[in-house]
Structure 1
């Protein structure tokens, strides 16, 4: 009878395995609820061996956060082809794929989890936000954004993050609707800013010039137009006292 022999892993390979195992566990439960013993059991090694590769759960947690942050930042990478609205919708689809698959891990990454106060964890969070910010600017073809555009993009990145965190608490709104709404939110933020600033108005016009008539931004205009009240009927023409109103018949 032949018995299987467990292959011995190298140091870096074992570290990466532990990070993968920890990230998987953190993705389904809050990190504070996951023990080193569970991580060791899932990896098929002893508890002391986990400590051989990582000083403690905090360091393993931060290594898992590092991988999650890199993966999340990569979700904002999108070929610069086609209308901006369609590009943003694809980005939001990949972003919510990550949120959906790694709910507790995403919450821990954005809220800090047990790493509250950790400069390493905070730096990772800032890196994700900065990567998203830079990707959006790249899609706009602007490397040195004016202050109002920088405000719009950073506000939108923050909005996407907070929307995802709220959505995770019960998933009460269909995900596809939120993805589309966030694309429309970007257009709305830009439009409001354009109403106050000529430079933003030019940027917005450049964006809209590349959008098809049936594109996502045009859909927002249609939706908003449907909310406008119908115009009141015109009053009948006044007549001179004593004069008969004109007959509608020939």
Structure 2
């Protein structure tokens, strides 16, 4: 229980406190289910005082969304050192840390929550995706990414997002398996694109040349090799 005289907060300090309180509540329940009264109670202030700092729940939600978006984009930051597979695996670990810590809030962030259709919310979400894209491109060491590489990276960012949303609905697959699988998915997307384009083939071969046998990409090749005998044993389908 708090005792003594309550310290008076400055305007910006109080705003940041309310954003933090709202984000914490949104991390455990959908923003649609959290009322201004609950936010006020958790912050230890009156409902009218919340409206003094934010015109309404929508503006407070968007402010909390902005902080969450900034934090999520930061999860993709990784030193440009070591094999790419290991780097991506660490990124996925931090990404799923965020997803697990802010489940309902993450869902609201990616799906728009109370801000569905809001240009502000859409811009924040696009900003996260762009930050993730730029980080992956920097790890690939490509200054001017060709169209196929951009397609691969943006598709993979979208896949990571949708996989996390599906995983939150029941968490039926171990998180560590999904993190590894998403790194494998990146390699698979790049490899398929490389099969159709010489420039992409050069990128993939350069990356694989720096990968250790016991790394995530080496693990994928090992897993695929175990399928080869089974695939070759399947008789070709007769055409009608």
Report if TM-score (shorter chain) is over 0.5. yes
Residue of structure 1 in register with 2:137 after alignment: 137
Q: Output one character per residue of 1:74-101: Cα deviation in whole Å (capped at 9) or x when no partner.
A: 0000001100000000000000000000
- Is 1:218 the counterpart of 2:218 in the alignment? yes
Going from structure 1 to structure 2, the CA distance change for 1:152 and 1:230 (only over 3 Å counts) comes to closer
Deviation at 1:232, TM superposition (A): 8.5
User: Larger deviation: 10-19 or 213-222?
Assistant: 213-222
Of Structure 1 and Structure 2, the greater helix share is in 2
TM-score by length of 2: 0.94
Deviations 1:130-175 (A, max 9, x none): 0000000000111210000000000000000000000000000000
Give unmatched runs, 5+ long, in structure 2. Answer: 234-240
TM-superposed CA distance for 1:227, in Å, is 1.2
How many residue pairs align between the two structures?
231
Give the Cα–Cα distance (whole angstroms) in 2 for the partners of residues 48 and 146 of structure 1.
53
- The alignment yields a C-alpha RMSD, in angstroms, of 1.3
Equivalent residue number for residue 114 of structure 1:
114
Quote the Cα distance in structure 2 between the aligned partners of 1:39 and 1:231. Answer: 57
2: CA distance between counterparts of 1:179 and 1:190? Answer: 17
SS of residue paired to 2:229: coil
Provide the residue aligned with 2:70 in structure 1.
Answer: 70
1:231: how far off?
9.4
Structure 1 counterpart SS, 2:27: helix
**Deviates further, 112-121 or 224-233:** 224-233
Q: Distance in 2 between matches of 1:68 and 1:148?
A: 30
Is 1:9 aligned to residue 9 of structure 2? yes
Deviation for aligned residue 1:229: 2.0
Is 2:66 the partner of 1:49? Answer: no
Relative to the length of structure 1, the TM-score reads 0.90
Q: Give the alignment of 1:235-246 within 5 angstroms.
A: none
Distance in structure 2 (CA, Å) of the matches to 1:91 and 1:169:
22
Structure 1 pair 232/104, CA: closer, same or farther in 2 (3 Å)? closer
Between the aligned partners of 1:228 and 1:100, the Cα distance in structure 2 is 36
- Pair 1:31 & 2:60 matched: no
SS at match of 1:228: helix
Return the offset for 1:4. Answer: 1.3
